Chains A and B, each alone.
Chain A
Amino acid sequence: MSSFRQHLLWFPAAWLVVLAAPGVAAQGTPTSPTPSPNTPTPSGASGAQPPPTGSTPPPTGSTPPPTESTPPPTESTPPPTEPTPPPTESTPSPTEPTPPPPPPAPIAPKPTPAPELTKFQVQSHAYSGFRWPGYTVGASIRGGGGMFGSSLGQGNPLVTGYRFVERGGFISGFVVGGIFYLLGATAASMPDSTSVSTSSYLRTNNRGETERVTTTTYTATSSRSAAEREAALEAAGEGAKGLIAYRQQSFELDVFTRKWFGSDLGDARGYRMNFLFTVYTGKRFILEGGFGFGDVSAIVPGKDILVEEKYVGIPVRFIVPWGPFYAQAAVDLNFRGLDFGLLADDEIETREVDGRRMRVDPVRPIPLTISVNAMLWRLHLSVGVETARPWTGQFGYVATAGARF
């Protein structure tokens, strides 16, 4: 975004500079027949090329000698060159003056290097925060009908907790890589095909009774060689190592408590964790996805309602960094909520909490959270809105504050 702003500023400024340049005014439009002073002209009969002047006459075929009024060539114009002697005259006569060596080509001025960021600027840059290992330890607060809002429309809990975020670390790779390795090891050790066959026959037992004997045969066939299985296991191990070594990952852990900083402010208890990996990095945005799960129970204040939230799914993050800030749209695709409540048990469950019999409100939300974050040196702040049931007009807020290490 900053470079875009630079373009916005430089574009009109560049046009003003170009239009104000005197040479440009004399040149007219590009369709003008007047050649540009820097336009190389064809060599004349003498073979020499006149030095360009501010007001170059149109080419006449005969080149006038340079006069005193002709300004010397500038660095931006090519210097006149002497005709190249014929190859037969490899050794010039001592009476003839040796042609001066051609001056070196003008050196184009180097582009001004971008100012080097100070350490403080790097540490306060959101993109650096995504790409460099770092930890954030802080607190979070959620209210209204957001992620943990009740579906009964009789109020919503205030969810308070602590938040731990690792970026550029290895927790997500360690966990997901371990799962991958287990799956790979299982696949490597599994048979390639299985079959089940059943046969039966009748026989007469000792008491003269006829009985049916049924035999079920399970067959597992392994067609892969031991070397192939070893290779599959090794590939699983390498994949797990790759995930652990992948630096573009993050881990989010939220622990919710009713005794937030020793208070009785919160209404919820539970946890939520997400293991995320960068799946795509565009010029202006970052897309992350992964795996997560959580379990939260919350009491609706003043009501005998216990919101019971459960989550197992795929978190998706769309992140747009901008200097020390970044905007984030987050969707936690909850597998347990994909039925949108259609498969929920119709029976109302009750549970005794704090000595009161409460109605359990099972929710399996797929929340959308849009937030604005700031990474200001060691401080990470965010504020956002979220909803799990936008069609009901139920929205909530979320705010976090954390220290970065």
Chain B
Amino acid sequence: MVLCTRMPRPLAASLFVFAALALAPGVARADDWSPRDESSSDDVLQSYGLGTNHFGSVAIVYTPRSVFDFEENEQDPPIAGTGALTIAACILPLPTLFGGMGGMEGDITIGFPLFKSYFGGFGANLGLVVQPISFRHLRASLAVGGGFNAHGYGYLKPRIAFTIVPHYIDAEATYRWIPETASNVFGGRTDGLEDEGFGEHKFRASLFVSFRQRKDRDDFSVPGVHLFFEYTRVSGDTEELARVSIRAGDFMSFGLGAAL
């Protein structure tokens, strides 16, 4: 009864998705597409979780107008940008019972200014990745994990990646969601059920360009170029956000790096 009266649309939609998943006809299963058989020589490449051809990235990121100096002027603070060095990797070594892949992802970020900055400072996150759609040139995955920088958080990150030019150009889009309920602000108010932290929605579009076809899976002699753009929406308590020199709002970041 409680479920009926308080069941919202997202819950009903989720139940529908579950039912559709369970009752899908045999044709939809397509005898369970077997991505591992599609191109067996590229099995190991399928375990790479950045784009469709890479597993690691080292990049510099610039986020303009992302540091608000409230100590200088509380009402009209000077605004500066944030620079960061980020190292990311994603490996999916485990073929699953359903033809997908599973693995881990993680990244480390060192941002400047180092202190009292939402995008700056030292941060890292680690997540589990499930990649149910795991074709050679089309990937879709979901990551669940946690991390820290200006706050400690848990996140959910769906991802889709596809090849544009085989072996040379591939693209990736991710959306990382940090619910406010999954965030804990360090040094904030006493933690409790009502004490939510910062929320974040981050959309990221990446383009990977390789200049030479990989001879084999261990051929890293010519790293590719990793270009990406991020659109981040930050929310949370104004006072808590001010402690990390930021306001609630939308921010854009630009990144350039090398992809392995």
Contacts and interface: CB of A to CB of B under 8 A. Distances in A.
A164 B95 contact: no
B215 interface: no
A132 B97 contact: yes
B22 A377 contact: yes
A306 interface: yes
A7 interface: no
Contact of B193 (A166, A353, A379): A353
B145 to A, nearest CB: 10
Interface in A124-147: 128-129, 132-135, 137-139
B181 A401 contact: no
Contacts of A171: 104, 128
Contacts of B13: 261
Contact of B194 (A133, A259, A354): A354
A331 interface: no
Chain B residues touching A, range: 35 or more
B130 A405 contact: yes
B98 A378 contact: yes
A299 B193 contact: yes
Interface string A162-176: 001010111100100
A257 B22 contact: no
Nearest to A123: B97
Given A269-B181, A401-B18, A405-B130, A262 B11 contact: yes
A351 B192 contact: yes
A261 B14 contact: yes
A134 B11 contact: no
Which of B14, B21, B93, B96 gathers most chain A CB within 10 Å?
B96
Interface in A192-226: none
B11 A403 contact: no
B130 A137 contact: yes
A129 B22 contact: no
Given A263-B10, A265-B11, A164 B2 contact: no
Interface string B25-47: 00001011000000000000000
Nearest to B93: A170
Contacts of A128: 97
Interface in A174-202: 174
A372 interface: no
Contacts of A253: 144
B21 A353 contact: no
B193 to A, nearest CB: 5
Contacts of B181: 257-259, 269
A139 B14 contact: yes
A378 B182 CA distance: 28
A123 B29 CA distance: 12
B201 to A, nearest CB: 15
A276 B167 CA distance: 39
A297 B192 contact: yes
Given A269-B193, A297-B192, A169 B94 contact: yes
Given A351-B192, A353-B193, A404-B97, A263 B21 contact: no
30 contacts: A119-B32, A122-B97, A133-B94, A134-B97, A135-B96, A135-B100, A135-B102, A171-B104, A251-B128, A255-B154, A255-B182, A257-B182, A261-B13, A262-B8, A263-B10, A263-B11, A264-B6, A265-B2, A299-B193, A351-B192, A352-B192, A353-B192, A376-B22, A378-B98, A379-B22, A401-B18, A403-B18, A403-B21, A404-B97, A405-B96
| Top 4 closest pairs, chain A to chain B, by CB | A261-B11, A261-B10, A379-B22, A262-B10
Interface of B: 2-3, 6-11, 13-14, 18, 21-22, 24, 29, 31-32, 93-98, 100, 102, 104, 128, 130-132, 142, 144, 154, 179, 181-182, 190, 192-194
Given A132-B96, A135-B100, 16 more contacts: A119-B31, A123-B32, A166-B128, A257-B181, A257-B182, A260-B11, A261-B14, A263-B6, A263-B8, A265-B6, A269-B181, A351-B192, A378-B98, A401-B18, A403-B18, A405-B102
